[in-house]
Amino acid sequence: MILILVSTGHFDPLIQACDRLSSRYEFYGQIGMSYTVPSFPHIRTAPPQEIEKLIRSSELVISHGGTGMLSQLYAMKKRTVVVPKQIRYGEANDSQVELAVKWCELGMGVLCLDVDHLEAAIETCRKTDLVFPEFPKLGDYFNIEGKSTYA
């Protein structure tokens, strides 16, 4: 099963693109407030624990580029196609693009900036070995005496 995660907002172009591919892939969508009602099984929203269960049971995830969702996928080391919400898809700004590009440059996901190229991104993601590098924890800066003047 391929899980689609769009958070609580709208992401109609992604849902429509997945709907067009639904004869080839087994999709399950968390579609938020999207106006499009897809033909594949879907839910609007779910509690975090249920989302986590869905992520675990999926083969790969197609996710929007929000920090919350990407961080959860990073923590679970999940195979992910990242489709950032963009102005051309009705979003108020392109704030997700910078992070999505960086995320995929680091090899933590496969970038898909154009929903018309989603199929190619899914196939690339299936074949790619993703990497999940470790990063320093900001909390240590506050916790460890001598690192900052706050501790």
Partner 1 sequence: MFKQPFVLVTDRGGHLHNALKLMEQLQEAPQAIVTTHGPDIDSLRTSFSNVETVPYLFTWWGKFRWFNPWGAFRHLLKSFRLAKKLKPKTVVSLGASNVVVFCYLAKWMGAQIIHVECMNQVTTRSITGRMLYPICREVLVQWPELLKAYGPKARYEGWVL
Q: Does 66 bind partner 1 (CB under 8 A)?
A: yes
Residues 99 to 128 in contact with partner 1, rule: CB under 8 A: 99, 101-102
Among 23, 127, 136, 146, binds partner 1 (CB under 8 A): 136
Select from 53, 52, 1 the least CA-distant residue to 29. Answer: 1
Which range in 14-22, 23-31, 68-76, 121-129 contacts partner 1 by CB under 8 A?
68-76
In the bound state with partner 1, the residue whose beta carbon lies nearer, of 2 and 86, is 86
Q: Are the CB atoms for 16 and 39 separated by under 8 Å?
A: no
Nearest to 103 by CA among 64, 48, 143, 58: 64
Does residue 88 interact with partner 1 by CB under 8 A? Answer: no
- Which parts of this chain interact with partner 1 (CB under 8 A)? 8, 10, 45, 66-68, 71, 74-75, 90-92, 95-96, 98-99, 101-102, 135-143, 147-148, 150-151
